[in-house]
Amino acid sequence: MTAFLQTLIFGLATGAVISLSAVGLSLSYGVTRFINFSYGEFLTLGAYFTVLGVALGLSLPVAIVLAMAAVGIAGVALARVFFDPLMDRGFLPLLVTSVGLAFVLQNVVRMFAGSNPIRFPLPLMRPWHVGALFVPKVPVLVVVVALLAMIGVHLLLTLTRIGKMMRATSDNPALARASGISTARVLAATWFLSSAIGGLGGVLLAMTQIAVQPVMGWSFLLVVFAAVLLGGIGNPYGAMLGSLVVGLGIELGTTYLSPDYGHAFAFLILVLVLLLRPRGILRGAF
């Protein structure tokens, strides 16, 4: 029972990282209607910018906030240069461009930071002990931060004007334009928010893995895709639910099968769910 509870704690932390990252990806898909394969690099940039901020003497929380802002600005700039001009060209040009951009960003990171893993500057935190169970503080912190961020996204989408504009554009872009909504402004806001969330997801991923490396976002992207598909592509709330299923699946597979089969177990769950509900747990679009 203790081993199961321990696995559950780590599974919730893994699911929280996946969930936050999947929300960012779902937001961009919900408005742009294409899957951005360079999204994983925003996770990588978020982690590296945070490491750089701490190295320059900033506290870790301040470095994280500034890293999110930097990744958000970078996301808008990259979208303006590489994606916005191709929005009317169809799915394939955007797909190929996003894959190419992912490899370019990976090599830019290698150029400046090297290929070797770097330790994430996380202070030592001793676990809590509850009987025979020990509760690490890092997974709990990751879950709390991810939950607060996702609550913030929910409030933004439901209560703010820009959030309502994003939802309207996602539902019907032509009708949104006819209603006077500036879709260019909505698109820029979506890129910024999606990229900044990805940057925070990369920070939380680095906290759970301790090491930061140039391919961390790309390696994690497939798991994020699985969560997005499982929850219902384009639906941030579905992404949250799908991520918990995938995260728990990974940790259960790692604990009770083999560390090599954790991801395979998660994808088996994905296949079974999609066979029963092809559109995911929740329908797409938000």
pLDDT tens by residue, the chain, 286 residues: 566 777 777 778 888 888 888 888 888 887 788 888 999 999 999 999 999 999 999 999 999 999 999 999 999 999 999 998 888 887 888 889 999 999 999 999 999 999 899 999 988 777 776 666 677 788 888 989 998 998 898 888 888 888 888 887 777 777 777 777 777 888 889 999 999 999 999 999 999 888 899 999 998 888 888 777 777 665 667 777 777 777 777 777 776 666 666 667 667 766 776 677 666 666 554 5
pLDDT for 282 = 62
pLDDT for 100 = 95
pLDDT for 244 = 77
Q: Are 229 and 280 in contact (CB under 8 A)?
A: yes
**pTM score, whole prediction:** 0.88
pLDDT for 235 = 66
Instruction: Provide the residue ranges of all domains of the chain, joining segments of one domain with +.
Output: 23-217
Q: What burial class does residue 155 get, using C-beta atoms within 10 Å of its C-beta: 0-12 exposed, 13-18 middle, 19+ buried?
A: exposed
pLDDT for 124 = 76
Spatial separation of the C-alpha atoms in residues 102 and 77, rounded to whole Å: 15
Bridge partners, 129 (sequence order): 134
pLDDT for 203 = 96
Q: Are strands 211-212 and 118-119 parallel, antiparallel or unpaired?
A: antiparallel
pLDDT for 204 = 94
Residue 130 dihedral angles phi and psi, to the nearest 5°: -125, 90
